[in-house]
Structure 1
Amino acid sequence: MYLDSAKKAEIFEKYGKSNTDTGSPESQIALFSYRISHLTEHLKSNHKDYSTERALKMLVGKRRRLLDYLAEKDINRYRAIIKELGIRK
C-alpha cells in the first residue's frame, strides 16, 4: 500500500505538532497533498480511471476548504504551509 501508518506518522510529525497530531489543519493539508500527488501519478498512466479522477477532485476540494479555513484563522500559518509544501508558485 502506498500510505502505511509509518508514512502517516512521518507526515504528521513533520507538519503537525507531534506524530499523533492528526487534527491540525497543517497536518491534514500535508496528508491530502501527499495523497493528491499519488493519485495524480496514477492518473497519468491510467487516464480512463474515472472513479479515481472523481476521488482526486474531491480531495483537492477538501484541501482547498482547509486552506481557506486556515487563511481565515491565521494567515501566517497559511503562508508557512503553502511555502513548505510548494502548493503555490
Structure 2
Amino acid sequence: MYLAPEKKQEIFAKHGKSKTDTGSTEGQIALFTYRIEHLTKHLKNNQKDFNTERSLVRLVGKRRSLLDYLMKKDIMRYRAIVKELGLRK
C-alpha cells in the first residue's frame, strides 16, 4: 500500500494531538490531503482510471465536509489548518 503506518503516524503527530490520535479533525484533514495529492499524481499518468477518479472526488467531498465542520466549530483552528496545508476554497 502507498501509505505506510509510519507515514500515517507522522501525519497524525504533526497535525493531530498525538501520533495515536487518529480521530482529530485536523489529523483527518491532513490525511485526506495526503491521499488526495497521491491520487492526483496517479491520475495525471492514468487519465482513464475512472475508479480512482471517483475515489478522488469522494475524498475531496469528505475533506470539504470536515473543513466545513471545523469552520463552524472553531474558526481559528480552521484557519490554522488551511494555512498549514496550503488549501484554498
Provide the TM-score with structure 2 as the length reference: 0.98
Which secondary structure state, in structure 2, belongs to the residue aligned with residue 3 of structure 1? coil
Which secondary structure state, in structure 2, belongs to the residue aligned with residue 55 of structure 1? helix
Cα RMSD of the aligned pairs, angstroms, is: 0.9
CA displacement 1:10-33 (0-9 Å, x = unmatched):
000000010001001000000000
Aligned to 1:85: 85
1:88: Cα distance to partner? 1.5
Structure 1 gaps of 5+ residues are none
Structure 2 gaps of 5+ residues are none
Letter of the 2:31 partner, please give it: L
Aligned to 1:45: 45
Alignment of 1:27-42 (within 5 A): 27-42=27-42
Report percent identity of matched pairs.
72
Provide the TM-score with structure 1 as the length reference: 0.98
Moved over 3 A (4+): none
Which secondary structure state, in structure 2, belongs to the residue aligned with residue 18 of structure 1? coil
Letter of the 1:71 partner, please give it: M
CA displacement 1:6-65 (0-9 Å, x = unmatched):
000000000001000100100000000000000000000000000000000000000000
